Amino acid sequence: MASVMKRLVNWARSRSPWMIHYCAACGAIEFPMLVMSPLDWERYGYMPVPSPRQADFIAGMGYLTRKTVKLMINLFRQTPNPKYVVAGCNCTATGGLYWDSYATFKRLDDFFTVSGWVPGCMPMPDDWTALLVDLRRQVEGGLKRDVLKDFESYIKSVEEEERKWAKEYYSRSQPPVNYSFKETYPECEENYPDLKLCVTSVGREKLRSVLGELKSKGFQLLLNIDAVDYPKNGVIELYYVVENTGDGSQMAVKTFTPRGDPVVESVHDIYPNALYIEREVYEMMGVVFRGHPDLRKWILDGNWEGPPPLRKDVDTASYVVKTFYKGDRYGR
Amino acid sequence: MVLSTIVKSIEYMLKRPYTRLVPAKSRPFKTERLRGAHLLDMSKCTGCSMCQLVCPANAIDMVEVEGNYPQNPRRRFPRIDLHKCTYCGLCVEYCPFNALYMTSITGFELYTRDKKTTLKTPLELSKVDPSLITVRREMLAVKEVKPGG
Amino acid sequence: MAGSYTVYFGPQHPGAPGNIGFKLELEGERVVKAELIPGFLHRGFEKMIENRKWENSYVLSYRFCVEDPDSLEVAYAEALDKVFRVEPPEKARYFRMIQAEFSRIASHMFWVHFMAGSTGLRTPAYWASAAREEILKWFAWVTGHRVYHNFSVPGGIRGEVPEGFGERTTQLTYLVEDIVKDVEKALLGNRVFKRRTRGVGVIKGDVALKLGATGPVVRGGGLKYDTRKIAPYERYDKVSFEIPVGEVGDSYDRALVRFREVYESLKIIRQAVLEVRRGEPYRVKVPLTAPPGRGYARVEAARGEYTVHVVSTGGRSPYRVRFKSPSLPLLTTVLNYILENEEVTIADLPVIFASLDPCAPDIDR
Ligand code: SF4
Ligand code: SF4
């Protein structure tokens, strides 16, 4: 009798697995196809639910940035038993194309036990149906719940190592400046007429006044701040790309700052969106913007503790191979 | 306006369903040049490692296999991790000896409960059914060579 | 102040624009400030591309906006053409346009899910997903993959177009147009939708430009501003199309502009298809090492202007690649401008998110 009851419960469970509605990464782009018109997974009783407390399983759909993994663990803890973890895409399984990314964890099974893997980059919605069918079968066959593994010490050890690296990086002395620079503003240094782009250069002291002047001339749209690091010359080049909203021509104002003292004036009062672009350049390149009200880690917060990753002398690839693949770059 | 939508909905209800069947029965999603899992022709591969060098995902490493391969005296062949590959086809494009192909095998056939099974050894790669081949080198490599201008 | 709270919104929330969070400051129901919490999708593309070689770096280039990958693929291919100083064949130029425009339509159809979901309408979302599916099937037929196509490469396109390319593509444009017309009627014609979007999230085009936004947000605000016209790339100067604009700049206008854009894109595709003929050269060879120099490209993607800046110092790998994302200003400056100038309640917030249509991975990269 008890076993009949149990089988009945398992059967009922297998007919209504609900997934946490959490679009964790790029694999989620194919989910509307799976959920809606062409494949309609409600035929199998599947459904996305907003709340983890009503859900049965969580799907890893793509690369696992560190911040996302922490969130997934939280969600998994809130889900009632029995709960399952499934994985699609290659980045979830081995790191995939992002094998040298400093901001992702490489394997979902470092954190959870996993009940099914769909390889592909990215898997087509039809590929996911193999998983849907198999998960149903597994649950009906009495699949035990998936569990969390010991992850805290792992995450902590990775972050500790990065902090150590950052400390060591900042204590290193910077190479001397060996860089030839000629101010050409208002003439163009390089001109690309087909793109309507003109590269001009100014010293960093004059940057603010030049940008102010350009803005009054009609260059009202700040597109981006590009930073290029030259450790050999001891400088970081900065390009402020502005666009003339009248005729669509662009001006890239080039300036530089020595790596020993990477400070430039903030321009957020001239261009409001510079507030956020400067913050990004600060965390990625370590350029300090004087006068910026809220310079802090933002995108990298929770993802990376080490030195500014986009600097050329920060070799994140070999660090990642050492930490996540035990030194074997073809490992998994 | 709402009424016209309802009319349209009813129209759609009377049409053939748009929903596809479970792919186990029919596979309408496989196209002629789908980039899927690889096939290795072990009688052509010389072990030059070009595919290993060009792979952006580091999915290929070279391993030694048993057997007698006259064109490949060191008997080193590519091993492909299908759980790392991004199916870009660059290895097929750059293989100078035309030894690699792509087939229409995708995640549907490769689905597994055990991740280890998708690391394919050269022998496994060479046993794939050749009738599934979708991408050959001729389709990707450059034919027209013009000097840059 | 009494009745003021701080609430975290997203990333695991159906109303959030992707995997991205917000810290909202509320006064009662009204949202006064929204602070973005990004980083859930950060992979460090700009660093990873530096570790790749010229011939395989393009596999990474388009992955940071999954909804609209081809605009980026085209942009990166074009920037590398400049670095290598090669001129791709005409056919490749036109094909790239077709690819980018189909990607724009697919992206706008994906947006319909989002917009319809946040206003509570499911039917248009189902229909739009069919339109998107048809386009992705076309992509799988031509390029071999549904979402990541790898087809526009430095020097041209990667392979010959399949047999019957012209007819099937033209047919597809008419099929998609039919579906999109239905979707438009069901979405924009709906009374609920009008009530939810009229007068919500108003921003004028020139204001949006000053805040850093480009794309449909600016055009919805009544400004004719489109990179395809002001600085034509590929062969956009050879085809005729209009730039649709809105009037008021509210969420409804932005939705309208997106639908109108789809029709213009279809027009472009129909013109470009005539120039893509089987048997013509499609690709020129690019060397494995690049000369030192600079490559720069600007394209109009579904969400605004993307720019790619490639710095080469010679050798086998790019020295530095920098992308500009159009989504960042949308969720920071533009969103906060709307919140300051308008009484936005929590219920309106998903509608505003959807109508701005940001792409979360493209902020984080
Ligand atoms: S298809 Fe691309 S990712 Fe896959 S093994 Fe070949 S080169 Fe590597
Ligand atoms: S498959 Fe081709 S590229 Fe790879 S080792 Fe063999 S011959 Fe060389």
User: pLDDT at residue B147 above 60?
Assistant: no
Closest-CA residue of chain A to B119:
A332
Q: Assess whether A136 and A202 both reside in one domain.
A: no
pLDDT tens for each residue of C2-46: 578 888 887 877 777 778 888 888 888 888 888 888 888 888 888
Among B111, B92, B118, smallest CA distance to B103 is for: B92
Say which residues have a Cβ less than 8 Å from residue B117's Cβ, sequence separation at least 6: none
A304 is a domain residue: yes
Residue A160's pLDDT is 87
Above pLDDT 90, what percent of chain A? Answer: 0
End-to-end CA gap in chain C? 38
Q: How far, in Å, from the CA of B78 to the mean position of ligand 1?
A: 11
Q: How far, in Å, from the CA of C254 to the mean position of ligand 1?
A: 40
Domain boundary among A102, A134, A157: A157
What single letter denotes the amino acid at residue B67? G
| Contact pairs from chain B to chain C, CB under 8 Å | 93
Q: Do C123 and B5 touch (CB under 8 A)?
A: yes
**pLDDT band (50, 70, 90) for residue B22:** low
pLDDT tens for each residue of B93-117: 888 888 888 888 888 888 888 888 8
Residue C58's pLDDT is 85
C12 is a domain residue: no
A163 is a domain residue: no
Q: Give all chains having 3 or more CB-to-CB distances under 8 Å with chain C.
A: A, B
What single letter denotes the amino acid at residue A218? G
Report the pLDDT averaged over residues C309-314. 87
pLDDT tens for each residue of A198-249: 888 888 888 888 888 888 888 888 888 888 888 888 888 888 888 888 787 8
Determine contact, residues C62/C68, Cβ cutoff 8 Å. Answer: no
Does C171 or A330 have the greater pLDDT score? C171
Domain count, chain C: 1
Cis peptide before A284 (omega within 30 of 0): no
**CB-count burial class (<10 Å; 0-12, 13-18, 19+) for C39:** buried
Domain boundary among A142, A157, A172: A157
Q: What is the CB neighbour count within 10 angstroms for residue B121?
A: 15
Residue A165's pLDDT is 85
End-to-end CA gap in chain A? 46
C280 is a domain residue: yes
Among A251, A264, A233, A242, smallest CA distance to A189 is for: A251
Window C:269-328, CB contacts with B under 8 Å: 281-287
Which contiguous run of DSSP H or E holds residue B4? helix B2-14
Boundaries of domain holding A282: 190-324
Determine how β-strand C21-27 pairs with β-strand A250-258: unpaired
Determine contact, residues C353/C334, Cβ cutoff 8 Å. Answer: no
What does the buried/exposed string (b/e) look like for C80-106 if buried means 16 or more CB atoms within 10 Å of the residue's CB?
bbbbbebebbbbbbbbbbbbbbbbbbb
What does the buried/exposed string (b/e) look like for B43-73 if buried means 16 or more CB atoms within 10 Å of the residue's CB?
eebbbbebbbebbbbbbbbbeeeeeebeebe
User: pLDDT at residue C177 above 70?
Assistant: yes
CATH number at residue A32: 3.40.50.12280
Phi, psi (rounded to 5 degrees) for C316: -95, -15
Q: Assess whether A263 and A306 both reside in one domain.
A: yes
**pLDDT band (50, 70, 90) for residue B24:** low
CATH number at residue A221: 3.30.460.80
pLDDT tens for each residue of A138-173: 888 877 777 778 778 888 888 888 888 888 888 887
Give the pair of three-digit tokens for residue A48.
């996305």
CATH number at residue C96: 1.10.645.10
Determine contact, residues C265/C101, Cβ cutoff 8 Å. Answer: yes
- State the smallest CA–CA distance between residue B91 and chain C in angstroms: 10
A332 is a domain residue: no
C176 is a domain residue: yes
DSSP letter string over C8-66?
Answer: EE-SSSTTSSSS-EEEEEEETTEEEEEEEE--TT---HHHHHHHS-TTTTHHHHTTT-T
d(CA A269, CA A292): 9
Residue with tokens 């490493």, as numbered in its chain: B61
Note the ipTM here: 0.85
Instruction: Supply the mean pLDDT for chain A.
Output: 83
* Alpha helices (runs of H) in chain C, residue ranges in sequence order: 45-51, 58-61, 69-84, 90-119, 123-143, 165-188, 191-197, 205-210, 216-220, 227-230, 251-273, 327-329, 335-341, 349-356, 360-364
The top-level CATH class assigned to B31-140 is alpha beta
d(CA A166, CA B14): 65
A167 is a domain residue: no
CA C28 to chain centre: 35
Boundaries of domain holding C235: 43-357
Determine contact, residues A67/A303, Cβ cutoff 8 Å. Answer: yes
C1 is a domain residue: no
Residue A58's pLDDT is 86
Give, as one character, the DSSP assignment of residue C330. I
**pLDDT band (50, 70, 90) for residue B144:** very low
